[in-house]
Every structure is written in C-alpha cells, then in structure tokens.
Chains A and B, each alone.
Chain A
Amino acid sequence: MIEARSVSFTYPRGDRMILRDVSLLVRRGAVVGLLGPNGCGKTTLLRLLSGMLTPQTGQVLLDGAPLAALTRRGIARRVAVVPQETHATFEFSVIDIVLMGRYPHLGPFELEGPADLEIARQALDATGTAHLEMRPFGSLSGGEKQRVVIAGALAQAADLMLLDEPTASLDLAYQLEAAALLRRLNRTHGTTMVVCTHDLNMAASLCDEIVLLREGAVLAHGATADTITVDNIQAAYGVAADVHFHAAAGHLAVVPIARTS
C-alpha cells in the first residue's frame, strides 16, 4: 500500500543523516510497528511516509504513485496522521474536532452536511466516545482525547493511518484500551496502520510486523515473533532482555534485564 524506496533524509541545518537508504514496504491491511531507540529515525520515517518531509534521495510511493506528485489534499484523503499529543488552542467540542477530519473531502467553501455529521458520529461510536460529543475537548482525560483524535482520523476515511507514539502519554488502563481499539479498527475497517512506538510490549500486542531501526538504518524487518528477539533487542537497544510468549496476555512479552553496552 505504501512504500519507501531507498529514502535518505537529513534535516536542514542538520549535520547528521537521520535516515540512510531505508526501504520499507507496507502491505494493505497490515499493522506495522516502527521500533528503535531514540534518534534511530523512526519518527522521521513516519513523517516521510505522511509526506510531511521530502526525502533527499529515494521516494515514497502510495499505491505505486509517488507522494511528491500528489497534492496535499490528495494525500490527506488516503493518509491520516494521529500525533502523539493534541492540544486545542480554542474550545472546540469533541464533534468539532472529529468533523475537522472531513476537510480533505470538502470543497474550499463547502460546509459539512448531514452525511459528514453521520460519518463523524460513526467514528465516535467506533472509538467508544459517542457520549462525549458535546463536551469541550480540553476537558477530556488523556485517554479520551486520544480516542477522539483517532475518531478524527477515522472520519478522514483514509485507508492508511500513521500513529506517532499513540500510547506514550496514557495511563496503563488507557494504553490497553487504545491498543485494543486500534486492533479492532484494523479488523473491522481494514485500515492499514503504521505505528511508531518505543513500547515493545504494546507493539508486540498490536502489530503483525515490526521494523526495527537503529542509527538510521533498518536492523530487522519481519513478522513480530521473528523480529522481536533477544538478539535483535540486544543489537538495537544495547539491552539484554527476556522475550517469551505470555499466554494470559496472548502476545510476546519483553522484560529488560540489564544494559550490555
């Protein structure tokens, strides 16, 4: 569905190459996790995939078409981004926030109609936030806010959702909730997802595939069980960890033991 081909990237005025000749193919309907230590380039890769940044070498292709050839609106109709944190400057209500997701589908002066309102409400339903519709966004808890933002991304009716650290600022309970929600959305809507995270256990529970990055290059890429291994974690993070399948949780569990580097 989306592919990065040999992309390299350095920030302007930067001295270090953040990503070096990275290639990645994400199949339609997959949930792919981008993992790696700080500075490995995973967030930059996510921003290249969303079209926010342009690679210095290589290109990003969306269903075979280069991103550079598409308009911002065109990309927005197919790719939705869920940022790590959302802060509303003004007192928008929850439904206002979700309706903003309809922007790429409307004309420049077109107002949202009943159809758009219906889509927004369905998105709220899907994320279990329908009861919050008229509440001011700023009054919600962290978990509720994140679910609303995901609803907004859903309302955008995009095939691909890019999420940057979706559970980083959430309480434990909300972390589980958010991960469960994303899994459910992937199954019911078929939304392709690329999730950037440093939470190994969450990635293990949510993602089918893992891309492990280190210092701007792909260290390993494959199915979750094949990629989250003791050796890979050692190589990527410099940490000796215990990796085993946790029966009660139903996915791999990673327990860091000691630093090795």
Chain B
Amino acid sequence: MAAVPPRLIAAACLLLCSAGLQARPGALHRADGQVRPETSPRRIISLIPATTEMLFEMGVSDRIAGVGTFDRFPAEVSRFPRVGGLLDPNVERILSLKPDLVIVYDTQTDLIAQLGRAGLQMFRYRHQGLPDIVQTMRALGTRIGVAREADAAAGRIEARLADVRRRVEGRPRPRTLLIFGREPGSLRRIEASGGYGFLHDLLELAGGNDVLSDLRRQSVEMSTEMVLARAPEVIIELQYGDSPRRQQLDSELRVWDALPSVPAVRSKQVHLLAGDEFVVPGPRIVQAAERFARVLHPGAFK
C-alpha cells in the first residue's frame, strides 16, 4: 500500500476544519433558544398566531419579519410575508427572510433540526393550559429584550381574567359542555373539549362546570349516548371564521331538538359562539373568557 502524500493530508485537514467552522457561525448557538443572545432580535419570524398577537401586544410589531399562514389578528399582519404554519413550514422562505429569531412549535422537530443546522436562534412554543399563556408571554418578552413591556401586557391579561373570575364567584356553576366541531346539520361526530387545555381552563374560570372534566384530554369525540348521559345544562358550540348568519344559527340549533331530555336543550341554553379568539391561546383569551362568562352568568354583567 502506497503512503498518502503529506500534502494531501494537510489539504484534507484544512478542508475538514473549514467545513467544521462553517457549521457554527455564532459562538453561543444552541437550538433550544435557552441561551441569552448577544443582541435583542430585530427580525422575528412567528409561525404561531398566538405569539404573533403577543408580539403586537408587547409593542414590538415593528420587529416582525414574517408570520404564519393562519395569523389573522390584528389586521396589520396581512402586510407581513407568510412562511407556513404547523404542518407546512416553508424553510426556504424562512431562511430567505434572514431572521435572527424564529418562534416555532415545540413539536416541529424536523423544522427545529433544519433551522438549527442553519444556525438560527429559535424560541420553542408549547401549547398548553391557561396559566401557560401569560407565562409564555413573559418568557418571550424576556427573550426579545422587552421584559418590562411583556410583564405589563401579561399583567393586563391577568387583571381582566381576575375580574371575570370575581364577577362569577359564588354563583352556581352550571354543568357545561363545550363543543368545537360536529357535522353541520346533524349531531354526528361531535368534537368536545375535554378536561384539559386552555379552553377547559377558560370555561372553569368563567364559572362553568365542565361535564367532561374527568376526561383528561383536549379533545373528545362524543357519542349521542354520552351527551344524554352527561346531561349538560349549558351547551356552547364554537365556530371559527365569521359570525354565523341568523337563519343558519336557527337551523343549526334546531338540530339539538333530537335530544329533548338534555337540560340545555329544554331550557334553550344552546349557544353558538363564533370568533377565532377561542382558538388562539394569546392575548385575546380575555375576550373568550368574557364571552363564556356572559353566556354562563348573564346576570353578572348587568
């Protein structure tokens, strides 16, 4: 076997070293965003509608470089470039916008690995219960360098939520069923909110007694029998997008007449609420909480 010429070895070493150097431009890079960066980010991309709203609420919307596909609030988001969402993040688009912070879902492991290899800073967002919303807001604010503004905004949210809690305190808590989907025109394939997650927390805060508290899941598919057995006193159906038209509302609610023994049906306590504040666990949950409370305890808001 011939000996490898020393010049070749030296060249190989150089190549390997430079390749290694290229993979790590920032001295303090870590993919989990836990390390404090050297500068506060100026070009932020947020794939999550909740965090986008939080950025606006904290007053740093001028630092946004790109938003997710499903971000709708406030109206100004439409002027930002879109980079995809939970299921379809567009890595090329993200990279081309040259962000210095990307807010991603904690579950987007592939994306995180890819952006990590490209050397980008990330903030990993976890979608959990109601207390986590203000917690996330404070953490994000700290990460961006606007801890004071974030704390103030979080405080405002906490205050309004506390106000709702106070208003409904002491009142009897009706057994409530919260539904976020079913086949239109029938009672098939009812998707209900289980005893876990921010919607459940909002319901309890607004003075409702979630009939599915014992099922520790965010979403439960309910059969007709289950609805009859749980016998809720109030049914709240959530709809996203625009407000339902008057006649659509009536015909949709009439579907429930098939189950006359349910207390909510008998006392006409089936409500249809529309709006995406119910699906975005961000600053607007206070509106969601207030709307729930108004339905459950109208007397508390005279």
Complex: A in contact with B (CB within 8 Å): no
